């Protein structure tokens, strides 16, 4: 952990370093859609895009936690209703699937729909059918945001799907690779803790920033 602590200055630094390893000419010529899988991922996507005219958007999702542990994520639901379940945790805790589907419905109604109306004014998520997609996040503890986003994106039959992430757990690579064409990353970390620890400056993305980013052409 100590080796990687504060290894990135901020999201702008992470974006600049990702740009160095991303095929930016292809990104521009093939009109890749840049999709943040979190609010911080949306800001990072905007910084990666720079002055290009590629579309950016955010795919909203919400975690579903174990009944008796508000920090243990057992599943995740996206704005189009796709659900990714951690089958090992569900089996270990003997959690009923009715609970998961009930929570997914509640989170979608209470959290996700609210975000869609607040930040997109009710606009549906950008269609990526037959498009090249780059999913972006500032980091990932478990890969659940990427997995749920991949399930939603792949259902639309895109031309290709890539991932860009500055830091991620080493074991997450094997989990994500079967569902994506390539993962662009800066650091794979064996003993990954929490994403904010790898940044010197990691401010919360404000609601005003999100609205502004989603209004950019």
Q: By percentage, how much of the chain surpasses pLDDT 70?
A: 99
145 & 203 share domain: yes
Instruction: Provide the pLDDT for residue 208.
Output: 95
Asked if residue 21 has pLDDT above 80, the reply is: yes
Sequence length of the chain is 217
Give the total number of structural domains in the chain: 2
Asked if residue 2 has pLDDT above 90, the reply is: no
Average pLDDT over residues 194-208: 95
Q: For residue 140, give the CATH number of its domain.
A: 3.40.50.2020
Q: Is 4 a domain residue?
A: no
Token digits of residue 147:
């997995």
Confidence of residue 3 (pLDDT cuts 50, 70, 90): confident
Write the DSSP string, 163-214: EEEEEEEHHHHHHHGGGSSEEEEEEEETT---GGGGBS--PPPPHHHHHHHH
Asked if residue 216 has pLDDT above 80, the reply is: no
Token digits of residue 180:
């994506």
25 & 50 share domain: yes
For residue 31, count other CB atoms closer than 10 A to its CB: 13
Q: Is 189 a domain residue?
A: yes
Using the 3D structure, point to which of 90, 120, 150 is the last residue of a domain: 120
Instruction: Provide the pLDDT for residue 124.
Output: 87
Average pLDDT over residues 188-216: 94
Q: For residue 71, give the CATH number of its domain.
A: 3.30.1310
98 & 18 share domain: no
129 & 209 share domain: yes
pTM (two decimals): 0.95
Asked if residue 57 has pLDDT above 70, the reply is: yes
176 & 187 share domain: yes
Asked if residue 217 has pLDDT above 60, the reply is: no
Instruction: List, for residues 120-166, the tens digit of each pLDDT value.
Output: 999 989 899 999 999 999 999 999 999 999 999 999 999 999 999 99
Confidence of residue 68 (pLDDT cuts 50, 70, 90): confident
CB 60 within 8 A of CB 118: no
Domain around 211: 11-59+125-215
Instruction: List, for residues 178-189, the tens digit of each pLDDT value.
Output: 999 999 999 999
55 & 140 share domain: yes
């Amino acid at each position: 952990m100590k080796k990687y602590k504060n290894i990135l200055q901020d999201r702008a630094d992470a974006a600049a370093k990702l740009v160095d390893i991303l095929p930016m000419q292809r990104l521009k010529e093939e009109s890749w859609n840049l999709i943040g899988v979190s609010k911080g991922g949306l800001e990072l996507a905007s910084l990666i895009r720079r002055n290009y005219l590629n579309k950016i958007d955010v795919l909203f999702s919400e975690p579903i936690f174990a009944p008796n542990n508000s920090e243990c994520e057992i599943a995740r639901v996206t704005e189009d209703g796709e659900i990714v379940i951690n089958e090992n945790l569900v089996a270990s805790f003997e959690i009923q699937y009715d609970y998961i589907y009930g929570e997914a419905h509640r989170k979608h109604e209470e959290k996700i729909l609210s975000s869609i109306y607040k930040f997109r004014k009710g606009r549906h998520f950008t269609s990526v059918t037959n498009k090249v997609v780059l999913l972006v996040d500032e980091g990932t503890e478990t890969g659940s945001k990427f997995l749920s986003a991949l399930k939603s994106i792949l259902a639309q039959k895109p031309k290709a799907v890539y991932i860009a992430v500055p830091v991620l757990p080493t074991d997450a690579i094997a989990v994500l690779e079967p569902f994506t064409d390539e993962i662009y990353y800066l650091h794979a970390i064996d003993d990954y803790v929490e994403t904010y620890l790898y940044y010197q400056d990691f401010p919360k993305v404000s609601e005003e920033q999100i609205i502004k980013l989603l209004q950019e052409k």
